Structure 1
Amino acid sequence: MGTIKPDKRSVQTAKVDRPLAAPAQRALHKLGEDLNRARRRRGLTQQSLADRAGVGLSTLRRLEAGDPRMQLQVLARVLHVFGDIDRLDRLMDTGEDDIGLALMDEQLPKRVRPRKGPHAF
């Protein structure tokens, strides 16, 4: 008798598609519409933008449709073509993270006491 090899699918954990939260779906849909509008305002066809961004036409169409499976690098390529790549750079800028900064401020000590010993300033 030969050995039985386990089926790869049974060994690997099955990928479970979780539904995207409604606010996230709406945000992606709006992003797609905004990209579509920005492209049209610049007088670009989908094909010309796809060519300039180095992506396929179907990929660009999915991005403009707000497909949640799109890769972030596709968005970065399109923003670069538009001359707006700095918007991606500022997306989650920690200096503008009001919630994160407020949480950090809550953790600040009430008072600061001088240190004792040779390393005190």
Structure 2
Amino acid sequence: MKKTSIIPIPVKNALTNIGLNLSVARIKRSLQMSLIEGRAGITHVTLTKVEKGDPTVSIGIYAKVIFVLGLIDDLYNIADPYNDYLGRRFDE
């Protein structure tokens, strides 16, 4: 029996937004999908899934696409303790 996982709606929405943002970034840079696929070492199907925000794609694949698009600095901001308002409140 195949194990299924339920993706919370906020997570799905965030991934969809990330996928759209990556697609827009690629288009604004006038980069063809085949170029991103080659540089990231992924297939066309996988890049299509990334740009749709598919939750079955690994975070490593998303990170490679982010890197290829020159957006790697944005990845460092995820869960940054200096930007974690709730976490800082626990420190008080």
Alignment identity in percent? 32
User: Residue type matched to 1:81 in 2?
Assistant: V
Residue 7 of structure 1: aligned partner: none
Structure number with larger C-alpha Rg: 1
Residue 56 of structure 1: aligned partner: 43
Which stretches of structure 1, 4 residues or more, deviate above 4 A after TM superposition? Answer: none
RMSD of aligned alpha carbons? 1.4
* Deviation sequence 1:8-38 (CA, Å, 0-9, x none): xxxxxx6632311111111111111111111
Matched, 1:41 2:42: no
Larger relative helix fraction: 2
Q: Within 5 Å, give how 1:1-80 maps onto structure 2.
A: 16-80=3-67
Residue 89 of structure 1: aligned partner: 76
Indicate the SS of the match to 1:91.
coil
Q: Within 5 Å, give how 1:100-119 maps onto structure 2.
A: 100-105=87-92
Normalising by structure 2, report the TM-score: 0.90
Shift of 1:104: 2.0
Normalising by structure 1, report the TM-score: 0.70
* Deviation sequence 1:81-109 (CA, Å, 0-9, x none): 1111111112111121110110221xxxx
Indicate the SS of the match to 2:56.
coil
Structure 2, unpaired ranges of 5+: none
Task: Count the aligned residue pairs.
Answer: 92
